[in-house]
Structure 1
């Protein structure tokens, strides 16, 4: 009974953490800065306490992904030449704190607990967002609604569709509940209405198709699959480069960005001034501080990031930082892919039936990758939390779930407690 209460408390902690960090923009807009900082300190302290009390014996610091160490170390070193020392220090503390929370989540929670608590947090965020939109439309004439940048809301809606869809297909929730929340996520995607969320949805469906293809063929016969994926990726990249101006106009016309092409040009100009080491890590841009104020003057006051995570990393940490960041993302992408398509085994016998729940990390990473092309949110708050959680979890937890090992549909208090 004591262990059951412990896992229930851990699940509640994880749900709160996911909700607060993934919804950091909304929380930051509602709370005054001192209260927001105090809440962040409480979340980090609680995460460290949970990690110390509940962490598994198998935890070893050296089992964390090496690129994560190197990228964080280089970001810290960039304080020595940062053009914005105080914002850089704040940005470094923020990314280190978020990393610590992600490490706690990945080691304390099982894969199923990650899925379940993430789903619960997304229900809170998406449900509150839609309730606010409905209240605004019915009682405030829409005047109270502040659309702001719809990209984060669109990404959360897409992530919710992935997570809730997996739960429904795996039988982890009741059919009515599952279909209800899947429909809610579709409504949220339509309301966000950004081109990038539609592009992300297409990419996720393509990723799902490739994963199902990979599951149907032996490992030694996947060359055609990888060749097809490479050709498709190259074709999409070429189209994106050739149609850069048209895509920029489409994004700007949809209200997603203010002059993205001009913003990219301005950022590229700053990159060329310090191509090797960058201007110093800051995370979220301090818009009125040099050199970022130069981009505001050139592109308008709405420029709050490079609108491309890879370009943003190059701007802040230089080519060296980009070469350290890329392996973190690519290796995580490879690990979640093989987790999705490799057949689960228990000993030398035949492979077991695939588990539906093994797909969600792969699909979530695909959504993150698409988001990173036109948004820098993967570098801060919920984007960084999700990336690091998946990077760390796939680095040490190699057990592949099988269909028969997925948890039964039980109330929270009766969910079997994993041991070992």
Structure 2
């Protein structure tokens, strides 16, 4: 029996997946945890159904082994976890999130991923500005999430929005966090600029959305996003420089990159305090130094395999219930993904996570700087969309030094999707659909 899936809304589903992954807090604040659970469950089920119906081809050689090993270790940590119940929740969330990431990585082309990211980010930015305008003009004061009740003095971090749009920010948007909103705006700038460069959107429309993303980024006043943007700009400059040179004449580029790393590292070590002052940060990095010290102390107690995977910390489970408390707020991450992995999965987990990131960066770099070839001859000119993986990774890696979001939700989604997409063969070719599926899909759904 032939299954007609010619009307399968893959692009729409991809947009919903990305929106939910990056704006999960919007659903939680609007509908509560049960409402968010229903939305997330529907997204995961639809992603799984799409994978089963499209059945994209994937050989063993095309599977990113480092990603498989890291997820495998996370799952195995249930055996030695200090908090097995919390680990079961964390592993379950990681596996379910990975289903959505696999859908993006195998059922979309790079161009389709770019378009889906663009659509999702437009919705997040637009809704954030409308929401902040409503809070500032109509409500005229801070707004708490729906379905919550707090007693006594309420910390600023608990508010959905503080209604500061008319004061020039900082704004939190629908995601309820200025650093996350600023990071989404940075990713949106990357995506919108690549679309303009590829001429896949009208120039006026593309420029308008660039302005919107830039305005949102400025209104968040996020210093961490400024640093991430600087790294993205540096990576872009080196990619374009490398593109301009033949493969056998790139040693100068790589030597310059190595020298820049040395200079920047030395500058941070000697001028770190002054740099923090310029960015408006305190010497303890807004409490991060204390969190890092506490997490490092626990990591040293279980150095090889860690305390057990949990992903985003669960606040009612020791030691997370009082591990990182600042101004009445219990923070639920180590504010450094690498330290978080070391704490949860030990040195072994840190090695596997580094292998996942480094291997994905390696493939993304050569995707960005080398023209596609057939044999020894290039078959097509450079395209702007091939810059997407390396620029997204640059932003994610920069964020990972101050946030642990690359391990959860939108960060994890992008990392796994890019890892799959860059590892799979035929990244520009149409997907190979099983014979039982309508052949018209072969013309509309590219392979990751």
**Which residue is equivalent to 1:259?**
287
**Which residue is equivalent to 1:417?**
444
CA offsets, 1:395-418, max 9 Å, x none?
Answer: 0135569xxxxxxxxxxxxxx736
SS at match of 1:287: coil
Tell me how far apart the structure 1 counterparts of residues 427 and 306 of structure 2 sit (CA, whole Å).
Answer: 39
**Could you tell me whether the CA contact under 8 Å between 2:87 and 2:308 is conserved in 1?**
yes
Structure 2 length-normalised TM: 0.84
Q: Which 5+ residue runs of structure 1 have no aligned equivalent?
A: 402-415
Change (3 A) 1:399 1:76: closer
Q: Which residue, out of 311, 318, 324, partners 2:339? A: 311
CA offsets, 1:370-411, max 9 Å, x none?
Answer: 00010000000010000000001100135569xxxxxxxxxx
Q: Which range moves more in the overlay, 296-305 or 256-265?
A: 296-305
CA offsets, 1:141-187, max 9 Å, x none?
Answer: 24332435322111110000000110011110001110111001101
**Which residue is equivalent to 2:123?**
124
Tell me how far apart the structure 2 counterparts of residues 365 and 334 of structure 1 sit (CA, whole Å).
Answer: 11
Matched, 1:42 2:42: yes
SS at match of 2:373: coil
**Could you tell me whether the CA contact under 8 Å between 1:83 and 1:291 is conserved in 2?**
no
**Which residue is equivalent to 1:409?**
none
SS at match of 1:353: coil
Q: Which range moves more in the overlay, 291-300 or 136-145?
A: 291-300
**CA positional deviation for 1:63:** 2.5
SS at match of 1:134: helix
SS at match of 1:293: coil
Change (3 A) 1:20 1:350: closer
Change (3 A) 1:240 1:87: farther
**Could you tell me whether the CA contact under 8 Å between 2:428 and 2:446 is conserved in 1?**
no
**Which residue is equivalent to 1:97?**
96
Change (3 A) 1:298 1:161: closer
**Which residue is equivalent to 2:310?**
282
CA offsets, 1:29-64, max 9 Å, x none?
Answer: 2222222222222111111100111133x2235522
**CA positional deviation for 1:258:** 4.3
**Bigger helix share:** 1
Matched, 1:387 2:415: yes
CA offsets, 1:330-370, max 9 Å, x none?
Answer: 11011111111002234554553211111111111100110
**Which residue is equivalent to 2:217?**
189
**CA positional deviation for 1:246:** 6.1
**Could you tell me whether the CA contact under 8 Å between 2:239 and 2:368 is conserved in 1?**
yes
SS at match of 2:371: coil
**Could you tell me whether the CA contact under 8 Å between 1:115 and 1:163 is conserved in 2?**
yes
Tell me how far apart the structure 1 counterparts of residues 89 and 98 of structure 2 sit (CA, whole Å).
Answer: 14
Q: Which residue, out of 4, 7, 10, partners 1:5? A: 7
What's the Cα RMSD here? 2.5
**Which residue is equivalent to 2:65?**
66
**Could you tell me whether the CA contact under 8 Å between 1:161 and 1:185 is conserved in 2?**
yes
Q: Which range moves more in the overlay, 273-282 or 390-399?
A: 390-399
Structure 1 length-normalised TM: 0.89
Number of residue pairs aligned between Structure 1 and Structure 2: 402
Tell me how far apart the structure 2 counterparts of residues 32 and 169 of structure 1 sit (CA, whole Å).
Answer: 40
Tell me how far apart the structure 1 counterparts of residues 225 and 286 of structure 2 sit (CA, whole Å).
Answer: 17
**Could you tell me whether the CA contact under 8 Å between 2:24 and 2:36 is conserved in 1?**
no
Q: Which 5+ residue runs of structure 2 have no aligned equivalent?
A: 144-160, 163-171, 430-442
Change (3 A) 1:235 1:46: same
Structure 1 residues 18-417: aligned runs within 5 Å: 18-56=18-56, 58-60=57-59, 63-144=62-143, 145-146=161-162, 147=172, 148-242=176-270, 253=281, 258-296=286-324, 301-350=329-378, 352-399=380-427, 417=444
Tell me how far apart the structure 2 counterparts of residues 247 and 289 of structure 1 sit (CA, whole Å).
Answer: 36
